[in-house]
Structure 1
């Protein structure tokens, strides 16, 4: 990549006589989907690209909303928000940041072909008041616009036009463009070079508008899919940091005098989802879908020994749950956490009552590089379902292979994780996953599991500004999904970071997003 505007960044740490540049080597469990933050609704990809691109607002390390590219905002009517933009901000190529960039970005991310349009579900339109003022209109009173905007990153319109990139890309469908492999944001780091699946180098942006709270000059992003290789690299000093420390290796890492481990539970809840279309994709039952029968779904639920999954597959570090959202998420209530008990005989009885005394075969789509210990818990559950007389065919492959199948509905059962980001609100799960497909709703409803009663509650909650009324609506929608066993909840996902002593300090938030602009090296 030959970019004249990188010279300033390089000069920041290559001047004669300057101390050696501080380099943080980040060993990640997988590659990002693309350099285009609109290419796929993937929390990890967005968290990495947040080092390059920024939104109008952002979350602090303790998940409070604060100004970013917008200095301030106000509501001028129940459906119109006015944002005053930060002056004197430059994109990495030197172009000035203006209202035109915000509008072009909003139009791009909400385009009908954008896979990220569900992240801005209430958006209606936007208009420029002046170079540093933008108004955003939503389709009704809507309480979560600021939450949504934390993950809607701003592009340089001039750069998009020059590179024929005003339309969105879609990594899930293989739609690529210039922004897939090139980047130009306003953030604290600049993409200096990239070899996909090998190494991406980010260098400090010396012209960042914010006051840096880090001393990192270079980030080397290294996708290392093998857990054992990643651990070995950390212990040997080949990498400084990983945001995915394997659970089975935490005792070994903690015992090293050169390594620190940070461990907690993240916001992400993990569950199984069903394809409720008219027929199974891969089965000995033809022209019929047993999963549409609530008794069958309940049988699959009762056949899971969640304590065994937690102890063996998750190394005792996950939090068992009967809910689809974590306790920290508005919309959660303690009664949601009650699980159906493990009851193998009861599961068999339900299958018999539903007309499947000998079970049936189905495809179980899991990913090898997405959720924590996904391979292990999928294998464990597949074995449990087999003991109930079912015949799951476990398809385990990297997300690059499984995601296109999921998007097309080419599955019978899938593992699924949802952190409710960036909203930090149950409305995220409800509108993007549970709702029937309609406009920006149901973007991740891959299995036709919509319910008119749930849809009505979601639509009412989406325009209710009073939390005392809005939150009970969300609770009721989740209650219906629970009663119908539309999903099988498993656990709240554990998260473990590990770093060498070369990292003096960092911020670990429960959204599991590294914020290296808040990280100090020794």
Structure 2
């Protein structure tokens, strides 16, 4: 098995490994209640590359390749994966796996899934990029499948950790609404979908026939609690057993309180500012100092992007806004990960140089902008935006913050309605190509590239490096190409990196939670004790 996503040095101490539950006997009944910040938008696991959707899918469906808490690929529905030549990966499937309705899982279901992923309509962020190298699915026998690619593709097993396998018999002809209603949500995962009401109720029932062994929780309830303070209050009152997205302020308060436990780990999630590259003309929320629309998009000028980056004191953001729970960064992978570029450091804080660059770019008096942010998606998201807006205002870019719930924010950002916004992305494969192919690759539906490139940034040099990285099987040679791409992004600043988040959960006494660098909050990670 190829694995090019291992951290090279020790990271934050983890309390456990593995996304898959251990094979253990069911511990009777019991209801686990999880308070989560953001609602999944769909129970269709192929609708949207969105972490809350992935989190729900972890419970109901399984993947060929799973990931442990440190992002290393481990067996799932596939017991092994082996390159057969340069353009074929062979997957040996786990025998005896049953769908929730009792029918057998086979290689034909894998073929159906790979074909379905690029065809799901109306997706705000398609998963097609994860299967884009696959040109043919060959069903060798019921427990063997071969995925043919246009060229060598070393990252394919890692990419497939995002693709939930769905059944042909339930999914053929099914719509996303059929999954939301539960009609087509027939998986092989540890839980069955019972109730799916986005923003209100999500309820799961234990799958006693799960191939990994039955879970201890007979039922799992997800309560959607967008406000961080309300989640913490629910935990302290005993209304929920576990909460995610604990804010930095609440983490300190909960630690002092002592009635609950705080569980924390480093993440690959980068928080960044995203300028629009979608148009050369003026932007509706960016104006001159006099309030009149600017004739052109200022963010297409590298000097402006550099000025905005230099105006940000990342150390102060982490210390004052995040209460130390974060690591300033100039790239999307933490130090020590495969393909992180050691030559790319943390951008300096230099407001004087920022003012000079603005003047050189033709904005000696600065300009005005609206900085858009979600209020309920990322830890301290609106507070981070307010702090950055103040820093930009000090160099003459007078900034005001527009904060919306993530459901409304993402709908507008994905349609290129914003000029500048705060966003975040977790490099969940633990290497550089995931961000490259999804966030900064030129949008190309035919190539299934740039599925989450909301800014519409395009750089042919970067695209060529990204494509090249997908064809190199030798890990060292591939890493050099990926590091070169990281440098191109650092130099061109299509997005303005801030810091990597620390992930924090709160847990009631009597429960153990195994933290993971992907940021998932799954019932399979919770045990008594």
TM-score past 0.5 threshold: yes
**Aligned partners of 1:443 and 1:50: how far apart in 2?**
21
Alignment of 1:199-348 (within 5 A): 199-212=201-214, 214-276=215-277, 277-279=279-281, 280-284=283-287, 285-339=293-347, 341-348=348-355
Cα deviations across residues 369-405 of structure 1 (Å, max 9, x unaligned)?
A: 2121110000111111112111334221112111122
User: Which SS does the other structure have where 1:429 is aligned?
Assistant: helix
The 8 Å contact of residues 227 and 376 in structure 2, kept in 1 or not, is answered as no
Quick check: 1:428 aligned with 2:434? yes
User: Which SS does the other structure have where 2:408 is aligned?
Assistant: helix
Corresponding residue number in structure 1 for 2:375: 368
| Equivalent in 132, 135, 138 of residue 127 of structure 1 | 138
Task: After TM superposition, give the deviation of residue 268 of structure 1 in Å.
Answer: 0.7
Corresponding residue number in structure 1 for 2:526: 519
| Equivalent in 156, 160, 164 of residue 145 of structure 1 | 156
Q: 1:124 to 1:329 in 2, by over 3 A?
A: farther
Corresponding residue number in structure 1 for 2:188: 186
Give unpaired runs (5+ residues) of structure 2: 1-24, 288-292
Cα deviations across residues 82-136 of structure 1 (Å, max 9, x unaligned)?
A: 2222222111122221222111111111338561112233222212222222211
Cα deviations across residues 118-172 of structure 1 (Å, max 9, x unaligned)?
A: 22332222122222222111121011111111121111111113xx32x6x4xxx
The 8 Å contact of residues 261 and 499 in structure 1, kept in 2 or not, is answered as yes
The 8 Å contact of residues 465 and 482 in structure 2, kept in 1 or not, is answered as yes
Cα deviations across residues 31-59 of structure 1 (Å, max 9, x unaligned)?
A: 11211111111123202320111111211
Quick check: 1:471 aligned with 2:474? no
Task: After TM superposition, give the deviation of residue 328 of structure 1 in Å.
Answer: 4.4
User: Which SS does the other structure have where 1:265 is aligned?
Assistant: strand
Corresponding residue number in structure 1 for 2:106: 98
Task: After TM superposition, give the deviation of residue 203 of structure 1 in Å.
Answer: 1.6
> TM-score under structure 1 normalisation?
0.90
User: Which SS does the other structure have where 1:77 is aligned?
Assistant: coil
Corresponding residue number in structure 2 for 1:60: 68
Q: 1:400 to 1:460 in 2, by over 3 A?
A: same
Corresponding residue number in structure 2 for 1:9: none
- Superposition RMSD on alpha carbons, in Å? 2.0
**Aligned partners of 1:63 and 1:485: how far apart in 2?**
27
Q: 1:281 to 1:463 in 2, by over 3 A?
A: farther
Paired residues, number: 491
**Aligned partners of 2:318 and 2:206: how far apart in 1?**
41
> TM-score under structure 2 normalisation?
0.88
**Aligned partners of 2:439 and 2:368: how far apart in 1?**
25
User: Which SS does the other structure have where 2:503 is aligned?
Assistant: strand
**Aligned partners of 1:255 and 1:501: how far apart in 2?**
15
User: Which SS does the other structure have where 2:203 is aligned?
Assistant: strand
The 8 Å contact of residues 440 and 494 in structure 2, kept in 1 or not, is answered as no
Moved more, 277-286 or 76-85: 277-286
